Amino acid sequence: MKLTPNDIEVLIHYHVSGPESHPRSSVPAVRESIKMFLLLDMLEADENSFRTTPKGDAMVRALCNTPEPKMAYIDSHGNVL
């Protein structure tokens, strides 16, 4: 799954802020992210707002556990120099 920075921000918002409405909830990109996470069972409706499901909580933990990228130089044979 590929996520945009907007997708990640929306998921983290509902993970941290719970049912508090997203500040840009009227923006089409935010609405599309919410729709996607509902279909993926990472968000669930909570009256007039949303909150993360256990699957959404796990996704946030996975994002937070992503290791720092490392830079490498690779030769034409795929060997790290």
Q: What is the CATH classification number for the domain harbouring 49? A: 1.10.10.10
Q: What is the number of domains present in the chain?
A: 1
Contact assessment for residue 22 and residue 13, using Cβ atoms and an 8 Å cutoff: yes
What is the domain extent for residue 35? 5-64
Using only C-alpha atoms, what is the Rg of the chain? Answer: 17
Biggest CA pair distance of the chain: 56
pTM (two decimals): 0.83
23 assigned to some structural domain: yes
55 assigned to some structural domain: yes
51 assigned to some structural domain: yes
Report pLDDT digits (tens) over 4-14: 999 999 999 99
Report pLDDT digits (tens) over 5-61: 999 999 999 999 978 899 999 999 999 999 999 999 999 997 888 999 999 999 999
Q: What 3-state class would DSSP assign to 38?
A: helix
In angstroms, the CA 36 to CA 33 distance is 5
16 assigned to some structural domain: yes
The vertex-16 CA angle with 25 and 69, nearest 5°, equals 100
